[in-house]
Structure 1
Amino acid sequence: MRKIFSIVSLCGVVLLSGLSISFISCTSGAKAEMPNFVSDSLVAHFDYFAYKGDDDFYKENPLPGDDYYYNPILPGWYSDPSVCTNGTDYFLVTSTFSYFPGVPIFHSTDMLNWKQVGHVLDRPEQLPLDGQRTSEGIFAPAISYNPHNQTWYMITTNIRRGNFYVKTKDPFGSWSDPIWLPEVGGIDPSFFFDEDGQAYIVNNDVPDGGSTYEGHRAIRVIRFDVEADKTIGPSMMLVNGGVNLADKPIWIEGPHLYKISGKYFLMCAEGGTSVNHREVIFKADSPMGEFQPWKKNPILTQLHLDPQRPRPVTSAGHADLIQKTNGQWWSVFLACRPIDNEFENLGRETFLMPVRWSKDGFPYMTMDDELVPRIIQMEGVKRADSPTFGNFEQQDDFDTTKLGLEWMSLRGTATDLYSLDDNPGFLTLTCADVASNELKTPAFVGRRLQHHQFECATKLYFNPRSESEMAGMLMYKDEQHQYLLTVGAEGNQKQISLKKIKGNEVETLAVKALPDAGGPIHLKVKSTGTHFSFHYAVDSEDWNLLDENIDAFFLSTAQSYGFTGTTIGLYASSKSYEFSN
């Protein structure tokens, strides 16, 4: 057994016996045996990290059967989903922007039950992110399977470097180094492998003759040589502006090309990724055009609905289509579920819904005033015991030699700043000379928020030796919007504080003195969806409230903009914010 000294004082975690203890208080018992690392300087040790989702929607709306699922199927900021199949296995990828590793890859055999099996970009040479802001980095990965060479491709944009792709014969394993595509401009490239073996890349870029208004973009196509791993010939414009150029549509992007029943369909997003987001479709007799829009576009949107409707789903778009082996068509797409149309702390999530076909042969997901459904039945499929959706609890006891797949760092691996080997059973973070508001790699490992209402807790061993040293829990939206619950020191006094970080502006919202003994400090964050409360406990005592009614809107996309949701995780630093940047 491991960590015997901590069993009596864990807060809200699953013990070795399997008994779940409430997050509300820490249990007291015999005095815990102290580990021998508490005197380490510049190092923080985290015993566990527990996450518990508690959204009211799931409690009030139980699923009616074991073949139903909740939307979003991947909650939290799993943006820009793309999906493909070889006829047996389904794989889905999403954007990661400036987080490392890049592009989580999920696997399923039925389209309902998904499991993350790795990351496509898991090596530094695949993912140069130095100096990039949180919402830069990797945009809109698209995954495809080429049956002619039994190879899987993932193509994407590194916003500072250009467009590239990687490939593999084994999507459960490693992917190739990047193959850059200097002839493909713009963003959002996607492969299409035709039945005759020909290959194409479609992408967003400038129109022929240049843009004539803000947001004026085009969809272009270029041929691709599979054997030579390079493009062929010139890029051609397929769509100028969008469905109707006279309306001056903006930000046509996220294109995907399909061949269905002998016809070629080009599906794209319009309107930007906020509330005006929508999905549109075109049809042609050739992958090179001419593509004609469907007269009933858009095929997916919520933009025209009453913004005051209860529990709205907004910003729906950036979709991908997939046909199951039973012939049914489905679509994955991004959407948001804000509170009061303001609190978008979860970012753009992955939704899944069935596709219908019009009498004139076009696919669509919503029509007229139809809502994106939150509960959907997938007949013939049974929901797994541990689904990716709904309320769930996850705990990491840091018992393995690698971080779980849910964990990410910023702009690099951060493996020189954390360890799971130095003290088995603990995540050890070095107090790096990097602050969380810098465009560098801090000593921070975080995971996505996936619920509006949640609790997160950890147990920390840390003895700061100077006023610049700190360690604790960080809620991170971007360089300009963060909350930090941290153990530090002022003079010779150990203390716990809550800081609001807005770039170089740092406001201390609350501070309390702590005992000088080297025992553990428990930290907890609770969320109602619109407000946070921050708690701490000393050794095995009950929880103490540090501060409450802290505005969650500060971390919302509506306040901070950007393309990610909020991450929460563990952080250590030896650099004061007044000396950063």
Structure 2
Amino acid sequence: MIRTAMTLALLAAPALAPMTAQAAPNTAAFSNFVYQGSDPSDAIKAGPGQYRNPVVQGFYPDPSVTRVGGDYYLVNSTFTWFPGLPIHHSTDLVNWTQIGNAIDRPGMLDFKRLGLSRAVFAPAITHHDGLFYILNTCVDCGGNFLITAKDPKGPWSDPVWLPQVGGIDASLFFDDDGRGWIVNNEEPPGPAEYQGHRAIWIQEYDPKTQKTIGPRTVLLDKGVNPAAKPIWPEGPHILKKDGWYYLTAAEGGTAEGHSQVALRSKAVTGPYVPYEHNPILTQRGLPKDRPLPITSAGHADIVDTPDGKWWATFLAVRPYGNDLYNTGRETFLLPVEWKDGWPVILENGKTIPYVADAPKLPKTPAPPTSGPFKAAESFAGPELPPGWMTMRIPTSRWWSVKGGTLNLEARKDKLGGQEQPSIWARRQQHMNATASTTVRFTPKADGDKAGLVALQSDDFYWFVGLVRDGGKTLVRVEKRTGKGDPVDGVVVAEKSVSLKNGQPLNLKIDVKAGALDFAYGTAPGKWETLKAGADGTSLSTKVAGGFVGTMLGVYAHGAEQ
């Protein structure tokens, strides 16, 4: 199993101040973490030679893809979760295995105490002359930067900051002559005329000095139809085919109006002419009552295959109810058809298919990332799998993984406090999902707690686990469903529980679209429901806001240290 390099980085970091004599910190020990999920769309069966959309389910937005020979590498946004910018590998564009994280060392970036939808936006990956490049933006924490690696598994370099590149969503294109060009979303050349008025800019990049050079040039102001006042042109990429330079970008914002557009030019710096049948991908304007809708499609990246075919990765969402989705923005795949010299991902008016014919490429053995599946984490150690993340960036080693147990120090940092709490979590990847674990924890002081959490942000989360309150040990469900709720959450349900020292307690969260069930048990396979039918729509993007999806994981907090 591939492990993150984070532990090595922490151990190699300068030593923390020596601890004075004090009581050992209280620790919560978690074992047997099992995730399982399915979706209504699973009823649509994939036949031989077909694949399922999305190809990478759950909170994997802003996909960027590159090819090196017969290998494909994918990177996604993670915002303020750490380790960040997951790197996936595939040989068939369908089956993906995470091989690392590009941001895996605490010293690479400083997420401060930013909200969970800030920090690292929209990475773009490319390969040139034996080196992998990722351009990215650390929003509110430094701006645009570049990291490189000879091996996409890592290690990736420390960030090289690009102060001349403003805005967000920078990507890098290398021309046939070896010259590099950075394109990005930025402020327009004059005053913004309306909310969402942005422009796409280009500037040359020198890979030898790792600096931008020469003038900055506007490639697209407003969008492909300026008279319609299009909003948020972003996520730009340049590709070259048959002597044409193609500029593709998202438009319309990342909600239901999202789309992808294309322009082309005979010169890399333009002028670029838009495709007369734009957008080349969107789901806006389709009937809202269509069954099993897929919406908000855009932010595409186009890649070719060795046999001359073209494919696009892009983000979209799978809502329930009225545009509610807890799983976040996910990675989808569709073929690209070239029509009269233009790349078309999906004709206007067509729906994104859940099942489609797969690329004729060598298959990649990989753990499932699409369709119904079960994933059991054994916590064998010494590290967590690369898909597990914590909130913001830790400055000390407060966890250990060994012998089937994930141990979390119950620290004072807590959920809801814009802090760096003792939490490790993995993505909710299905509309209907179950997460369960076994915890051994003895809360010693009022306020101590440890258990399972379903979390969308500091302001929107649900917790079930052991707590100490009024000198009593309780199993409790708590929630925070907005800034108006207390930081420590609101008690939803609780029950006194008597556990012998070290006795395990089983915990479970069942997610059924927008409903949550919470259960506990002291014997294997025997569950007692503590709260059924809780309103889980608070974990949807529509309610909670932001750009992330729900994370399911384990958490510990100590009121005294």
Q: SS in structure 2 opposite 1:558?
A: helix
Alignment-derived partner of residue 386 in structure 2: 405
**Kept in 2: contact 1:482–1:555 (CA 8 A):** yes
CA distance in 1, matches of 2:505, 2:450: 11
**Kept in 2: contact 1:104–1:116 (CA 8 A):** yes
Where do 5+ consecutive residues of structure 2 fail to align? 1-22
Candidates 76, 87, 98, aligned match of 1:105: 87
1:267-293 Cα offsets, whole Å, 9 max, x none, are: 000010000000001000111000010
Alignment-derived partner of residue 7 in structure 1: none
Alignment-derived partner of residue 508 in structure 2: 524
How big is the shift at 1:258?
0.7
Matched residue type, 1:493: K
CA distance in 2, matches of 1:41, 1:225: 50
2:520 is aligned with 1:536:
yes
Candidates 34, 42, 59, aligned match of 1:50: 34
CA distance in 2, matches of 1:95, 1:62: 30
1:464-514 Cα offsets, whole Å, 9 max, x none, are: 011110000111101110001120122332111101113452221100110
2:107 is aligned with 1:125:
yes
Alignment-derived partner of residue 79 in structure 1: 61
Matched residue type, 1:235: R
Candidates 512, 515, 531, aligned match of 2:498: 515
Relative to structure 1, the CA distance from residue 383 to residue 44 in structure 2 (aligned partners, 3 Å threshold; closer, same or farther) is same
CA distance in 1, matches of 2:205, 2:366: 43
**Kept in 2: contact 1:41–1:464 (CA 8 A):** no
Alignment-derived partner of residue 68 in structure 1: 50
1:318-467 to structure 2, matched below 5 A, reads 318-358=299-339, 360-381=340-361, 382=363, 384=365, 386-413=367-394, 416-421=397-402, 424-467=403-446
1:213-263 Cα offsets, whole Å, 9 max, x none, are: 111000000001111110002211110000111111110000000111110
CA distance in 1, matches of 2:207, 2:379: 43
The number of equivalent residue pairs is 531
Where do 5+ consecutive residues of structure 1 fail to align? 1-38, 577-581
Alignment-derived partner of residue 224 in structure 2: 243
Matched residue type, 2:324: F
CA distance in 2, matches of 1:297, 1:380: 28
2:467 is aligned with 1:488:
yes
Matched residue type, 2:187: V
Matched residue type, 1:82: S
2:477 is aligned with 1:498:
yes
Matched residue type, 1:117: I
How big is the shift at 1:87?
2.1
Matched residue type, 1:562: G
Matched residue type, 2:284: L
Q: SS in structure 2 opposite 1:559?
A: helix
Matched residue type, 2:354: R
CA distance in 2, matches of 1:483, 1:200: 45
1:444-478 Cα offsets, whole Å, 9 max, x none, are: 00111000111111001011011110000111101
How big is the shift at 1:168?
1.3
Alignment-derived partner of residue 176 in structure 1: 157
2:139 is aligned with 1:155:
no
2:172 is aligned with 1:191:
yes
**Kept in 1: contact 2:91–2:364 (CA 8 A):** no
CA distance in 1, matches of 2:31, 2:494: 23
1:297-346 Cα offsets, whole Å, 9 max, x none, are: 00000011011111100000000000000111000000000012332100
Q: SS in structure 2 opposite 1:52?
A: strand
Relative to structure 1, the CA distance from residue 155 to residue 383 in structure 2 (aligned partners, 3 Å threshold; closer, same or farther) is closer
1:544-579 Cα offsets, whole Å, 9 max, x none, are: 000011112110001011000100100000249xxx
**More divergent stretch after superposition (497-506 vs 521-530):** 497-506
Q: SS in structure 2 opposite 1:154?
A: strand
2:529 is aligned with 1:545:
yes
**More divergent stretch after superposition (386-395 vs 445-454):** 386-395
Q: SS in structure 2 opposite 1:553?
A: helix
CA distance in 1, matches of 2:208, 2:335: 36
Relative to structure 1, the CA distance from residue 385 to residue 192 in structure 2 (aligned partners, 3 Å threshold; closer, same or farther) is closer
2:239 is aligned with 1:258:
yes
2:462 is aligned with 1:478:
no
Relative to structure 1, the CA distance from residue 285 to residue 41 in structure 2 (aligned partners, 3 Å threshold; closer, same or farther) is closer
Matched residue type, 1:485: V
**More divergent stretch after superposition (90-99 vs 164-173):** 164-173
CA distance in 2, matches of 1:385, 1:139: 26
Relative to structure 1, the CA distance from residue 111 to residue 462 in structure 2 (aligned partners, 3 Å threshold; closer, same or farther) is same
CA RMSD in angstroms comes to: 1.5
Alignment-derived partner of residue 233 in structure 1: 214
How big is the shift at 1:127?
2.4
Matched residue type, 1:69: Y
CA distance in 2, matches of 1:249, 1:409: 36
CA distance in 2, matches of 1:342, 1:399: 39
Relative to structure 1, the CA distance from residue 556 to residue 219 in structure 2 (aligned partners, 3 Å threshold; closer, same or farther) is same
Q: When the two structures are superposed, what TM-score results if normalisation uses the length of structure 2?
A: 0.92
**Kept in 2: contact 1:199–1:224 (CA 8 A):** yes
Matched residue type, 1:103: L
Q: SS in structure 1 opposite 2:163?
A: coil
2:193 is aligned with 1:215:
no
Q: SS in structure 1 opposite 2:107?
A: helix
**More divergent stretch after superposition (289-298 vs 500-509):** 500-509
CA distance in 1, matches of 2:164, 2:203: 9
Q: SS in structure 2 opposite 1:339?
A: coil
**More divergent stretch after superposition (361-370 vs 215-224):** 361-370
Give the percent of matched residue pairs that are identical in Structure 1 and Structure 2: 38
Matched residue type, 1:431: A
How big is the shift at 1:369?
1.1
Q: SS in structure 2 opposite 1:543?
A: strand
Relative to structure 1, the CA distance from residue 83 to residue 540 in structure 2 (aligned partners, 3 Å threshold; closer, same or farther) is closer
Q: SS in structure 1 opposite 2:542?
A: helix
**Kept in 2: contact 1:46–1:458 (CA 8 A):** yes
**More divergent stretch after superposition (545-554 vs 378-387):** 378-387
Alignment-derived partner of residue 6 in structure 1: none
1:6-45 to structure 2, matched below 5 A, reads 42-45=26-29
How big is the shift at 1:384?
4.2
How big is the shift at 1:55?
2.0
**Kept in 2: contact 1:198–1:224 (CA 8 A):** yes
